[in-house]
Structure 1
Amino acid sequence: MGNVSLDKTTKINPTNWLSTSGWQDVVKLSADFSEICDDLNNHIDDWQKWYDLDSPESEDLPCNYSKKLGTFQKLMLLRCFRVDRVYCGVVKYISEIMSDEFITPSNISFDMIHEQSTPTMPVVFILSPGSDPTSELMKLADRYNIENDKFKYLSLGQGQEKHAIELLENAASTGQWLMLQNCHLLLSFTKELEKRLEIIGQAHLDFRLWLTTDPTQNFPIGILQQSLKFPTVGNRDDYIKFIDELPLENSPEVFGLHPNAEIGYFTQAAKEMWSSLIELQPQTAVGSTGTSREDFIDNLGKDILTKIPVEYDLIKVKRTFGLNLSPRAIVLFQELERFNKLIKIMKINLTQLRKAIAGEIGMDSVLESISNSLFNGSLPQVWAKLAPATRKNLGGWMDHFQRRIVQYSNWAGGNEPVVMWLSGLHIPQTYLAALVQMACRKNNWLLDKSLIYTSVSNFSEPSEVEERPEQLQNTIKTPAYTTSNRRNAMGDGLVFEADLETTEHISLWVLQGVCLIMNTD
């Protein structure tokens, strides 16, 4: 999971291309790789060239580290610089240390297909030139003692509709296997077949329906949705040989995508792998520093408690703003009310956890879950439920938490921000709605006819902002999401749509899936 410590290094990152979290990881690794920080500082150009490679895990490391380090140590270094390539690095590591056998996907067999099939789930074979799964299917029937009179097949063509329906009804009721070949030649019947499958009722447990078809856009979507689908090839042995010769990893270009398309995929794959490894690690071991698990959790809990502020006095804050409240002030009150709930539960949880570790009270399931999260450097779920959506680890989340405290404290003191850090709000949509309300009141506009527009500036400090920008032309509405999870089926996660200036047609950016992310992982 990288460096999960709450205490950040004071060493200055000598590069402008290595992320803050990456630099923290490098400094943490310097405890074992004593020269890594100096080597990076003295050979920045060499490290950047390696960093910018598409597949750095397959190339030599700068400063002769490829010869200095073992295979696993190279993975540790790769983890600091290119998280998105760790998954591929692990695959390479397994191949070198064990063998390709442990990373090569197994071939799909007809026995495996049969195990996955059910009486109500047809199996559709997508044919390629010269292919015919009939012989393999007959061999499968022999292995499962399906006699010839219980294995029926029919090649579809003009005038075969009635016969096919009779075979289907009989097979479903008596437990036969039915193979309908070349469905693409009688698409009118496949639409009738779709209806029959919906009303077929309780089929015999041994009933199986096998369909073959050439690729066609007009094949009923209902059958495809409820079926198992498999491609077939002309010569199975040649096919397997061909597959074996293919690379284990496909580049995005194979699918017509930009090389950056795999960054998010491999980054997520690496994080899922780490999560699985963390769950498997011993929960009672003594750390390398000699600190026990309980002492580590207790010290971390104590450290977090010192960073938690007192709850905000909402009555005092409301008195500061007086009676003439603006929509933005109301948003502040709502935000502080939510933030107080988080502060309260964090204090209660950590205080009880420390008492449980000391043996003063019992350790319940909630405290056990929190202790596991703290030990693994992840955010406890009970806190996550009361905070804005995030994918950060505990250390990153605490940085975010403390920045929220600074913004809330300044705002609660009556100093309404000139520039609002939207990512620090629990529900930023309410603040944006408040801006629209205030503009409508000021200009006597109709609320339902008013919209927000945005522009990208070069400002990096609030003090630099003096006036609002002019409205832009040639822009694309770009979704701004809370995290890289984007949004779920209910639309949760979408905050607003930002206007980004572009000289290209907007379809280019829509197809690229361009968006804004308010919080890094």
Structure 2
Amino acid sequence: MFLLTGGVGLDNPNPNPTDWLVGKCWDELCRLNDLPNFAGLMDHFKKNTAEWKKMFDSSEPQNHRLPAPWDTKLNLIQKLVVLRCIRFDKIVPGVQNFVTDMLGKKYIEPPPFDLPSSFADSHCCIPLIFVLTPGADPTAVLLKFADDQGFGAARLFSLSLGQGQGPIAIRLIDEGVKNGTWVVLQNCHLAKSFMPSLERICENLTPDSTHPDFRLWLTSYPADHFPVLVLQNSVKMTNEPPKGLKNNIIRSYLSDPISDLEWFENCKQPLQMFLNDYEDIQYDALLYLTGECNYGGRVTDDWDRRCLGTILAKFYCRELVEIPEFPFDPSGKYFCPDKTEYDEFMTYTRSLPLITNPEVFGMHENADIMKDQQETSLLFTSTLLTQDAMSSGSSAKSPDEVVNDVAEDILCRLPPNFDRDAANEKFPVTYSQSMNTVLVQEMTRFNLLLTTIRTSLKNVQKAIKGQIVMSVDLEQVVTNMLTGKIPGMWMKKSYPSLKPLGSYVNDFLARLSFLQKWMDEGAPTTFWISGFFFTQAFLTGAQQNYARKYTIPIDLLSFDYEVLKGTQFPEAPADGVYVYGLFLDGARWNMSIMELDESYPKVLYDTVPYIWLKPLKRSDLQEKPTYRCPVYKTSERRGVLSTTGHSTNFVIAMLLPSRQPQSHWIMRGVAMLCQLSQ
């Protein structure tokens, strides 16, 4: 269980002896030291940091020998646990090595996609489900297979599920059951309301009343609302796309057919007529046609559309046409070949490197580390779903003891709820100071979360003692605490966070302390922008103070941003606010030139200095070489629109000085985060 969760803990009294191992990994290493087989590991690490750094710096740490005596003392699975603490991003290849040694290499090689075999395992009453993965579309393969089996256009009916498509799907299935046709229902995950009807239909299919040739094909991404009964009684298939740019291009060229020629001809004629009206190529028009008309309806987020437009501009450009073998990356290995024949394109594609460097996509080399970390997190999260969190594993304490201790530890550190009445009396609503309202509103939101956490922990302790019934919600809290995750009951009342449980509690207490200090000592000279529950209210308050001071309509205002070198400010600025607490993702802040700069290798995030947010009229904002950098609450970088009209994750876009063009940092995926996921 430690391999999957990294253990559960709140505070770590042991200081990190290095500047290269991140705090989260050091905390896990200290918790690992408490397990019997790893006793003494922490002291050994402190005394032999140079040896451990060799493993940390290795390009293949999963194959690197552990410093003596741990390499001979630990078995393979125990070495994986140590690897988690040192190089979390290399767990997946480490697990592959473990499976190869224990079971054999064939268990890590994906089997070829065999649709005929899956079809042979089915009959008229058993649905066939394609479990979809990003980048893989089984439709073309299915249509070709259906044609080969004699189920062409006249005997195969396909429907993409969505709003209002349920009755049509039921009619197609009824006709198929009678006449023996094939029915393909695509994107079942988008038709939540139709899933109960689908479950009843599949449950009522019997060999006596169903045509033997009938087949029901379903495609769906994994979804909680997909009927379990249908899933259990079906033939399940998945076809993950190959990894790497080279393999994906080859797969596209080998797909049968590459494109529908009739469809291509129909599209080509109006496009040719459009282009013939101009003497030269209209790049802007083509860019708009592709980015806004073709993809625009599916890419709804403004920042995603900005990224899409920047990527397309790399290919829809004059240089691509005028420069022979125009390179797409600094190495020059990826370029537009001056070829016309299919075989020539295939020959060039097969010559590309097997492993794709992130720079090909305009990203920093650190992007590989982040990708690997996400793969590891996905592996552990998926595996945890199959585990019994109540199993004690190698821990000396029982699960009930662990939960009770963690709950008691958190409860001892929780302060009492904020006194709203005292806050209203000390910071009354005034025309000239909107921050008073911001403070009281923040206290109200945090009180609600504080009450939820305190009540749930007390009830968990009572349930463990048998004083009350362990409800489903409380059982989920216990499971989350044992796996080091934030309980869902808390998240319903909480600000967005991807932190593990221990880090979340510490972050929550720091936010409470920030507000309490504001309450006790008055408004601070600098504001922890990441500490607000609803950050947009704070930003609006800063603009509102300026608008009322100078009698300017607030909807005419914007912010200018000045990154500061100082860290101590004896008094607040006359206009605007000083803020801190942001992190740069995808770049770093160069203090010597006071501009954005490239990240250091293996340093994924950089702390942003203090920033002066200066309200001003939007018309007075001067044009400068800057990067318009989005600010998000978490690294997930996506959210939903709340009832206030604001995103639950996106905060604001800040202008940061930069010598590089906007497109450079957009391709790098540079953003600022209010909190890290560690």
Query: What's the TM-score bracket when you normalise by the shorter of the two chains?
Result: 0.7 to 0.9
Q: Do structure 1's residue 401 and structure 2's residue 401 form an aligned pair?
A: no
CA 1:218–1:48 in structure 2 vs 1: closer, same or farther (change >3 Å)?
farther
Separation in structure 2 between the aligned mates of residue 458 and residue 68 of structure 1, nearest angstrom: 50
Unaligned 5+ residue runs, structure 1? 127-132, 152-170, 178-197, 226-233, 236-241
Instruction: Give 1:54-453 correspondences, 5 Å limit.
Output: 54-62=59-67, 65-111=70-116, 123-124=139-140, 141=148, 146=150, 171-172=153-154, 175=155, 206=181, 212-214=257-259, 218=264, 252=358, 257-286=363-392, 288=394, 290-322=396-428, 324=430, 326-453=433-560
CA 1:206–1:2 in structure 2 vs 1: closer, same or farther (change >3 Å)?
same
The structure richer in helix per residue is 1
CA 1:396–1:463 in structure 2 vs 1: closer, same or farther (change >3 Å)?
farther
Separation in structure 2 between the aligned mates of residue 335 and residue 258 of structure 1, nearest angstrom: 38
Please list the CA deviations of residues 204-244 of structure 1 after superposition, one character each: whole Å capped at 9, or x if unmatched: 6536999734488958799999xxxxxxxx99xxxxxx9xx
Deviating more after overlay: 405-414 vs 293-302: 293-302
- Residue 410 of structure 1: how far off its partner (Å): 0.9
Which amino acid in 1 is paired with 2:27?
Q
Q: Do structure 1's residue 514 and structure 2's residue 517 form an aligned pair?
A: no
- Residue 82 of structure 1: how far off its partner (Å): 1.9
Whether the aligned pair in 2 keeps the contact of 1:122 and 1:211 (CA below 8 Å) is no
Match for residue 23 of structure 2 among 10, 20, 30: 20
Instruction: Give 1:490-509 correspondences, 5 Å limit.
Output: 490=641, 491-509=647-665
Separation in structure 1 between the aligned mates of residue 542 and residue 71 of structure 2, nearest angstrom: 55
- Residue 330 of structure 1: how far off its partner (Å): 0.5
> 1:37: which partner in 2?
42
Whether the aligned pair in 1 keeps the contact of 2:411 and 2:457 (CA below 8 Å) is yes
Separation in structure 2 between the aligned mates of residue 259 and residue 485 of structure 1, nearest angstrom: 20
Whether the aligned pair in 1 keeps the contact of 2:362 and 2:664 (CA below 8 Å) is no
- Residue 458 of structure 1: how far off its partner (Å): 4.1
Separation in structure 2 between the aligned mates of residue 70 and residue 223 of structure 1, nearest angstrom: 54
Indicate the percent of aligned positions where both proteins have the same amino acid: 24
Deviating more after overlay: 443-452 vs 404-413: 443-452
Deviating more after overlay: 57-66 vs 391-400: 57-66
Deviating more after overlay: 32-41 vs 421-430: 32-41
Please list the CA deviations of residues 143-195 of structure 1 after superposition, one character each: whole Å capped at 9, or x if unmatched: x5x4xxx77xxxxxxxxxxxxxxxxxxx42xx279xxxxxxxxxxxxxxxxxx
Q: Do structure 1's residue 2 and structure 2's residue 24 form an aligned pair?
A: no
Whether the aligned pair in 2 keeps the contact of 1:478 and 1:498 (CA below 8 Å) is yes
Please list the CA deviations of residues 271-319 of structure 1 after superposition, one character each: whole Å capped at 9, or x if unmatched: 2322333333334444645432223222222222212221111111111
Please list the CA deviations of residues 88-132 of structure 1 after superposition, one character each: whole Å capped at 9, or x if unmatched: 221222122222211111212342797568xxx994369xxxxxx
SS of the equivalent of 1:339 reads helix
> 1:162: which partner in 2?
none
What is the TM-score normalised by the length of structure 1? Answer: 0.73
Separation in structure 1 between the aligned mates of residue 138 and residue 78 of structure 2, nearest angstrom: 49
Which amino acid in 1 is paired with 2:404?
D
CA 1:253–1:378 in structure 2 vs 1: closer, same or farther (change >3 Å)?
same
Which structure: larger Rg?
1
Which amino acid in 1 is paired with 2:562?
S
SS of the equivalent of 2:631 reads strand
- Residue 503 of structure 1: how far off its partner (Å): 1.3
CA 1:38–1:295 in structure 2 vs 1: closer, same or farther (change >3 Å)?
closer
CA 1:440–1:208 in structure 2 vs 1: closer, same or farther (change >3 Å)?
closer
- Residue 463 of structure 1: how far off its partner (Å): 6.1
- Residue 479 of structure 1: how far off its partner (Å): 0.7
CA 1:90–1:218 in structure 2 vs 1: closer, same or farther (change >3 Å)?
same
- State the superposition RMSD in angstroms: 4.0
> 1:11: which partner in 2?
14
CA 1:43–1:290 in structure 2 vs 1: closer, same or farther (change >3 Å)?
closer
Deviating more after overlay: 346-355 vs 502-511: 346-355
Please list the CA deviations of residues 443-470 of structure 1 after superposition, one character each: whole Å capped at 9, or x if unmatched: 3433222112323334456669888659
Which amino acid in 2 is paired with 1:378?
K
CA 1:80–1:463 in structure 2 vs 1: closer, same or farther (change >3 Å)?
farther
